[in-house]
Structure 1
């Protein structure tokens, strides 16, 4: 039996609170997801599970479990899970039927009727007790652009993605249409409904597959126009500390806009990936009740607005009175909001607290031993810890630059790239270079610090939407992760800048299949590039390009166990062999008159080959790795013990790239010789001396508000080399707890 720990969170009791937990299982342990039982320590509680990953023997590797928890006010609580010998199916408490081209869902308190006829509006009816919205009272989502209104219509029937004892998830997709039935901007709409709960979660994803380079979207709205029966009370709430309310009677419109000016002037001390505050609007009829809308992470994804009046509640995803949204071809963007239906007597503080809880829901935490026993992450766990190392790792994750803005939240500019002029004066966005989400996920697994999980979720969602090209007529851009660039998606595609592991992490934690598909598309894009002539010319490629590609292909294999992903691996290994044959060692062309040793690139090559060696051991790979490391150790270490940056007089400065530590760990693994680990001590100690300040300064640049600090690639690149060296060094006895 393993513990699910709920930390103290809200000051109100939550009964049957919807929760979820992604659980990794050791190979061979679990054959059927219905064997996983959740208990409060006394009795089994209803749950539903979804398999998100398998081991190569067909046993379950990852399961996402939804369940309902009773959680006390102002206290922590423990739940547990265990694997039963028998499977157990819990009653599905949803009533789901189809009638007259509609799909009808009832969760006990909400009644939804969704249209299934092509060309219809998405919703036919939403009813909660006496309050109801008919099809003509639910407008949108709709986009204002090119002097026209474009409304999302049914193109594909609603699909039940998942249903069970706890939750039903439905999805439809299509395009927005104007009054002349012309189409514009693709969408995917996902609804999540929980049993017995009076709220619906909307995930509205827009995708630009138009032919032009970009579209200027003037506004995006979802409007509700309930029928008035009696006195109307309207309410707006916004907070980062205590919630500030604006109240009205419906006779006069009340509205509030969160824009760049708001973000610049408002102080906030939270880690905003976890929580910033809330933003909600309520329409309440004293006879029939009402609906309260919450925009998830509205401040972080500004601009956002609400407008409430006698006959309308307008959720303004991109406000009418804003600069609009420059939405580039190939981009996607997911907008999340909640509709909470309630009685006319619902207290505003209860609405406020539920809205705040939408922003920071209860999340159970697994003990790090669960991840360790499942053996899904290599070399990140150690029983013996050095406090200084743990502090530095946490600071590197916490104290990095960030950015607010609808297209930028989840990413940050890289100051080095920006100062080099790569953005022609504009910020150069990191685009999750070196896979920050995967580093954050591993940090969460080893520490159990919730914010590390939230770092992963926010960064991966940005990456999934913004930094991947979801549409292009160029097959070499289609499905690719775009290299760090201004405007995120305007840069080139390089297979040295395409990662997948963080997307799989996001899929395991959320069940969002879009992330899984995106990782597969990136892999296929890498394979298309490897067919290009540039990768078939001896000596004209470098290890960084094909090395990172090999890492992603091995990761795809370990996720799917489909040998298809390894078909190009030996081709890449051949590149490394040719590289050495051409220059005698792993040297890199630099200026026209030199080839030089670059410890960074040699270490990338070593790390990539070692990942392949772990799934397909070959003696020639082992020899190639050790020859390269021995050459690097012999020629690239300065008298002070650090590796130099590059092998040329003008570049022979102190190297600070920790990736050499990972290469030394692999040399130790292959030989058992502690000398390799001892060589890394100066680099390791140098890393520990890093001093990072909290992001202090905010400034508006273009449509972003940027918080100063090191870009996210610093932590992303250094995490695994440092931690693997730290863990290995502790076990080998060359590092001490003191």
Structure 2
């Protein structure tokens, strides 16, 4: 395929989404439902985002489609529009881009269920509703749930078969540092979704003198006796300890926070997945805590499980509970499962009489034990209250997901085990990976996984795999096979770093504290789920995105906090405490992908906050200081927000920012770069930052077809080729040098040769080939790619030739690498971020896309 034909293929097939094959292949194509557990799933919920092709005329998929199983039987189904092509999700004049498909599926153990979407009249579910004075009643056909609208009671009543299986309203119990019980006040109840298959009811409230708030989402399904509850604790006050984050400190300290349910039997027993506790209504507790690991490289051994009750007094080391417990009464039972229970220690359950308490922040815990803006975990604690109580900083969120189930009769041990597994690994539905690569629904070029028949591309696929699986890593001497999961379990680079706990889980440690999922590691992991259909990417990705959504972003609503809505900076042992959120370190694409894959409204809310943050940073007025990545990342954020949320202000601001950048480039001489005057003794450009800006321009051009950016891209591409690329691999494959690029540039001056920065440079060359229709850019990108995928851990000072045919000479593939100790999170997030466009371009050039 010629370069011009290749570019036109991208332009017309992806920009305008015109080919009939792309538009029609999905209709009638299989919808695959994945079950990642070892137990069969029968009539269990599926809520997954599916993308629809551009050019469709489907405004409300509920009016156009039915879902059938493999036998052709119509299945009750419901859709919720999440995103529209080039317009806001609530504007019905725009076609559907992403919609949440919602239904109950049957899937074999460790297997896949196959369903088909086709035009027709959908089968409906049995959900119905009553709005009564002071309550809303949701009837699923299997149970009736009553939710109080005057005060927060969790659930006011639940009936199964017309009989109450709860002993009265539940509630929220919170104690302050003085042990005083703090009342909660309900401030809002509204429907986020109200259908006949699935419904989501949202409640908001405040927790009195603590200054905390909460959001609760209840998800009901047709034909089921359980309800999913997402409880989000919020501190909407200012942080106040960091610059630009408010004029006063708005942290909250408290002793405990517990959700409470009541059964119908004051003499109830407790049941776990390993058996029944004959408590007969006596006091019982289960405490998931952490002490000290056996050694610094085996962090899981530090978990401790304590249980006490009538004739029970047990302490188990290296023990982790599955987070499921049932209150077993004479006539009815209720069961509670807490997602990621032990991972977010401390957690607990307690029971007495007819009460079952879910200790989300139990009284035996505390922290995080804060050591100050510049502190180390080994240093003195500067917040003495955090030694005894929970410290919940201004601007933070934390969400806990629970499943509550009710029945007449009892749950078996096997049923409780099943509940824990089902909550830990929810069913997910996907199109085939090939469709995602053709749809451009993620706003960037992607190529589905395949056997590439190329050493370089297959190695890159394995580099991505280590983000989700240890078995994809090479077995390194003295280290073993370490992917991202193993990196977390071993305690980081050298061990001993705690990546579990309610404030840590989902973030990763590196040399400067915690990384706050920098360089959009969330995107780098999650996007590989639809492009590979490998559930492990979804599984690890949801841990990362939960932290990114809740704890790695400043959510304060205090108008004095200029940097509110930004992602916390990548440095600091208490998740961004080193400095305020910065436009150079805020990303949003991972949040948006999670939103369209799952319908998570929390991710939607967080993404909107990021947009407001960027607007306050005014990228259209960037002054040219401190590197081109500052406008580059901000424009990237705006383009991604426009692609998924469809609001035109995002696009117009991005266009203004690009115009401003070109003015700065012209003022620097019009040679494709902007010198940073912040380096007063030697104003220069950091080359990789310019590549970030260039990649944003390339994305914009493929997205819109706007030719106005092409002259600027041409000048920047020439500069990259002539001044950034230091060494192109030369010699025969058996004795070939490795590629290198310069890290810093000023006219007549270069510094910092780099192997690693080839990744972002290759992405720039790939965009240059696609947008500027020049085959030479692609050939150069391929040459560097063949080098960096084999020798990504090579020292830039090594000029010796290598045997590109000898796999024993290649750099090991692993998350814990030898060349970049304590920088693994940055290196691997960069690798994941800056390879997808090349892979797609390479396939286009080979006519195999």
Q: For the superposition of Structure 1 and Structure 2, which TM-score range results when normalised by the shorter chain? A: 0.7 to 0.9
**Contact 1:384-1:730 within 8 A present in 2 as well:** no
Q: CA deviation at 1:672?
A: 3.1
Q: CA deviation at 1:526?
A: 1.0
Where does residue 653 of structure 1 map in the other structure? 753
Query: Could you report, residue by residue, the CA deviation over 1:2-42 in whole angstroms, capped at 9, with x for unpaired residues?
Result: 22334465555443222223111111235131223221122
Match of 2:464 among 383, 387, 393: 393
Give the TM-score taking structure 2 as reference length. 0.75
Q: CA deviation at 1:469?
A: 1.5
Where does residue 272 of structure 1 map in the other structure? none
Equivalent position SS for 2:711: helix
* 1:249-398 correspondence runs (5 A): 249-250=279-280, 252-261=282-291, 266=300, 278-285=322-329, 287-323=330-366, 324-377=389-442, 378-381=444-447, 385=452, 386=454, 387-398=458-469
Where does residue 22 of structure 2 map in the other structure? none
In the alignment, structure 1 residue 18 sits paired with structure 2 residue 45:
yes
Question: 1:488 & 1:11 partners in 2: Cα distance?
Answer: 35
Query: Could you report, residue by residue, the CA deviation over 1:456-514 in whole angstroms, capped at 9, with x for unpaired residues?
Result: 33222221111222113424222222222322253312212222222221221222223
**Could you say if the C-alpha distance between residues 659 and 277 of structure 1 is closer, same or farther in structure 2, counting changes exceeding 3 Å?**
farther
Where does residue 271 of structure 1 map in the other structure? none
Query: Could you report, residue by residue, the CA deviation over 1:673-713 in whole angstroms, capped at 9, with x for unpaired residues?
Result: 332223232355223434344669xxxxxxxxxxx976544
Where does residue 115 of structure 2 map in the other structure? 80
In the alignment, structure 1 residue 728 sits paired with structure 2 residue 763:
no
In the alignment, structure 1 residue 715 sits paired with structure 2 residue 758:
no
Equivalent position SS for 1:278: coil
Where does residue 700 of structure 1 map in the other structure? none
Question: 1:17 & 1:727 partners in 2: Cα distance?
Answer: 36
Question: 1:536 & 1:466 partners in 2: Cα distance?
Answer: 28
In the alignment, structure 1 residue 406 sits paired with structure 2 residue 508:
no
Where does residue 225 of structure 2 map in the other structure? 198
**Contact 1:92-1:163 within 8 A present in 2 as well:** no
In the alignment, structure 1 residue 95 sits paired with structure 2 residue 95:
no
Query: Could you report, residue by residue, the CA deviation over 1:576-612 in whole angstroms, capped at 9, with x for unpaired residues?
Result: 2333333334133463221234220120121122233
* 1:482-497 correspondence runs (5 A): 482-486=568-572, 487-490=574-577, 491-497=579-585
Equivalent position SS for 1:133: coil
**Contact 2:695-2:764 within 8 A present in 1 as well:** yes
* 1:135-150 correspondence runs (5 A): 135=168, 137-140=169-172, 142-150=174-182
Where does residue 457 of structure 1 map in the other structure? 542
Where does residue 478 of structure 1 map in the other structure? 564
Q: Name structure 2 gaps, 5 residues minimum.
A: 1-27, 87-92, 239-248, 303-319, 367-388, 470-482, 489-498, 728-737, 793-811
Equivalent position SS for 1:201: strand
**Contact 1:236-1:254 within 8 A present in 2 as well:** no
In the alignment, structure 1 residue 39 sits paired with structure 2 residue 68:
yes
Question: 1:396 & 1:11 partners in 2: Cα distance?
Answer: 23
Where does residue 431 of structure 1 map in the other structure? 516
Question: 1:294 & 1:695 partners in 2: Cα distance?
Answer: 33
In the alignment, structure 1 residue 215 sits paired with structure 2 residue 252:
yes
Q: CA deviation at 1:50?
A: 0.4
**Contact 2:80-2:99 within 8 A present in 1 as well:** yes
Question: 1:208 & 1:481 partners in 2: Cα distance?
Answer: 16
**Could you say if the C-alpha distance between residues 300 and 684 of structure 1 is closer, same or farther in structure 2, counting changes exceeding 3 Å?**
farther
Question: 1:392 & 1:120 partners in 2: Cα distance?
Answer: 47
Query: Could you report, residue by residue, the CA deviation over 1:410-457 in whole angstroms, capped at 9, with x for unpaired residues?
Result: 211232xx1xxxxxxxx2x22222222222232112111012123333
Query: Could you report, residue by residue, the CA deviation over 1:648-685 in whole angstroms, capped at 9, with x for unpaired residues?
Result: 88943334121111110122113333322232323552
Identify which range, 5-14 or 366-375, moves more after superposition: 5-14
In the alignment, structure 1 residue 676 sits paired with structure 2 residue 772:
no
Q: CA deviation at 1:162?
A: 1.7
Q: Name structure 1 gaps, 5 residues minimum.
A: 238-243, 269-275, 419-426, 697-707
Question: 1:329 & 1:617 partners in 2: Cα distance?
Answer: 43
Equivalent position SS for 1:468: coil
Where does residue 67 of structure 1 map in the other structure? 103
In the alignment, structure 1 residue 582 sits paired with structure 2 residue 610:
no
Where does residue 54 of structure 1 map in the other structure? 84
Equivalent position SS for 1:294: strand
Query: Could you report, residue by residue, the CA deviation over 1:194-253 in whole angstroms, capped at 9, with x for unpaired residues?
Result: 222221211111111246342222211112343436x5321234xxxxxx5572323653
In the alignment, structure 1 residue 638 sits paired with structure 2 residue 723:
no
Alpha-carbon RMSD: 3.0
Give the TM-score taking structure 1 as reference length. 0.86
Identify which range, 718-727 or 321-330, moves more after superposition: 718-727
**Could you say if the C-alpha distance between residues 366 and 569 of structure 1 is closer, same or farther in structure 2, counting changes exceeding 3 Å?**
closer
**Contact 1:49-1:63 within 8 A present in 2 as well:** yes
Question: 2:528 & 2:441 partners in 1: Cα distance?
Answer: 13
**Could you say if the C-alpha distance between residues 317 and 678 of structure 1 is closer, same or farther in structure 2, counting changes exceeding 3 Å?**
same
Match of 1:236 among 258, 267, 272: 272
Query: Could you report, residue by residue, the CA deviation over 1:115-150 in whole angstroms, capped at 9, with x for unpaired residues?
Result: 222x56454322335453344x51315354453222
Query: Could you report, residue by residue, the CA deviation over 1:537-570 in whole angstroms, capped at 9, with x for unpaired residues?
Result: 4x43531111111111122222233331233334
**Contact 2:144-2:159 within 8 A present in 1 as well:** yes
Where does residue 502 of structure 1 map in the other structure? 590
* 1:698-713 correspondence runs (5 A): 711-713=824-826
